[in-house]
Amino acid sequence: VQNNQPPDILNLNVYASYAKDGLLWSADDVLSDAAKNDLLDAFVKSGTYQGKLYGMPDLSSARAFFYNKDLFAKAGIAAPPKTWAEFEDAAKKITALGNGTVGYAMPLGPEEAQGEFSIWTFNNGGDWKADGKWTINSAKNIETLTFMKKLAVEDKVTHNNPGKTNRADAFDLFKSGKAGMVVGFSPLAGALDADKKVNYGVAPMPTKDGGAPQTFGVTDYLMAFKKPGNQEAVKAFYDLYYQKDQVNTFIKKEGFLPVTKSGLEVFAADPKLKVYLDTLPNIHLTPTDDPTWDKIKLAVQQNIGAATAPNGDPKAVLDGLQKTAETTS
């Protein structure tokens, strides 16, 4: 793209900076009304920049709370936690079992630190933006990151160096039976079902005060670059991709979740997906409709994990990210 050699269609999880630069076809130009009307509203909203849909969602995932039923039973924990206090208590009891077992696998490394933090702060009433302004260093976000540091440093209920641990490593720890809890998604469930080594359950996220859980979601986008003579070909591709038997078959084979209203109906036949599907229409996403989010996300991935080190300062880290966001926007 920088060398003025863009693809016709790009699959990526950010799009708005390209839309801002006028490089993309909008849905008005290349997407049929039938396909657009079938898209879930939450993903249309996240794919819309300045009133036009540029980021066409191609698949989604929603995060949920995974717990090891056998470790819960050994630690005398009756049910998955609904509040942060219950979560902290459960994590301590599981860690106390010993033999290298940790209460919680917390990936705040550079792979997807923004996802792990989002999950926790959304369930404390925090967010990245509010009323069009960046709120990275809000009181709620500072409270959340301070709690996450406490889990690692004071409570010692996580593995070593959560600020350098990536999601795949956290998943591996849970799959080995050495972590009591982790935030995961449907592909993790698929891997656990295939391995048949861990007796696990899936539940909504615990919230600070036990209120209604927020579900963090992710979608990738198909975006089409304006190139001479490619508009009809792009339209034909989208017409094919968003046929119900095409899009839903592809997403199901890949182990992800639907992006369409018709997909919700198709996937509803699988009871294991209910905990995710129920949340999709009101899913909470990161601000991908902001052209600067891709740069801010990178800063978050590289820096936020440092707050959970013994000498880490959650407020200072978030203040620095807030400054980055304000100067980048």
The beta-strand segments (E) located in 105-176 are 129-130, 133-134
pLDDT at 139: 98
Q: How far apart are CA 178 and CA 163, in angstroms?
A: 19
Burial label for 33, CB within 10 Å (0-12, 13-18, 19+), is exposed
Q: φ, ψ for residue 112 (rounded to 5)?
A: -150, 45
Q: How far is CA 189 from CA 43, 186, 234, in A?
A: 23, 5, 34
Q: How far apart are CA 97 and CA 264, in angstroms?
A: 40
Spatial CA neighbour of 306 closest among 101, 90, 77, 148: 148
Sign of CA dihedral 236, 237, 238, 240: positive
pLDDT at 278: 81
Whether the CB-CB separation of 218 and 60 falls below 8 Å is answered with yes
Q: How far apart are CA 44 and CA 133, in angstroms?
A: 21
- Which amino acid would we find at residue 302? Q
User: Alpha-carbon Rg of the chain, whole angstroms?
Assistant: 20
**Residue 256 structure tokens:** 């992800």
Q: How far apart are CA 171 and CA 181, in angstroms?
A: 10
- Which amino acid would we find at residue 222? L
**Helix and strand totals (H; E) in the chain:** 16, 11
- Residues pairing with 60 in the sheet: 219, 257
Q: How far is CA 53 from CA 1, 2, 146, 193, 286, in A?
A: 20, 23, 37, 37, 16
- Which amino acid would we find at residue 188? L
Q: How far is CA 70 from CA 85, 237, 275, in A?
A: 21, 47, 21
pTM of the model: 0.90
Spatial CA neighbour of 27 closest among 53, 46, 5, 50: 53
CB burial of 117-129 (b: ≥16 within 10 Å; e: otherwise) equals bbbbbbbbbbbbb
pLDDT in tens, the chain (329 residues): 989 999 999 999 999 999 999 999 999 999 999 999 999 999 999 999 999 999 999 999 999 999 999 999 999 999 999 999 999 999 999 999 999 999 999 999 999 999 999 999 999 999 999 999 999 999 999 999 999 999 999 999 999 999 999 999 999 999 999 999 999 998 999 999 999 999 999 999 999 999 989 889 999 999 999 999 999 999 999 999 999 999 999 999 988 999 999 999 999 988 888 888 887 877 899 999 999 998 999 999 999 999 999 999 999 999 999 999 999 97
pLDDT at 72: 98
Length in residues, the chain: 329
Q: How far is CA 10 from CA 100, 176, 201, in A?
A: 43, 36, 36
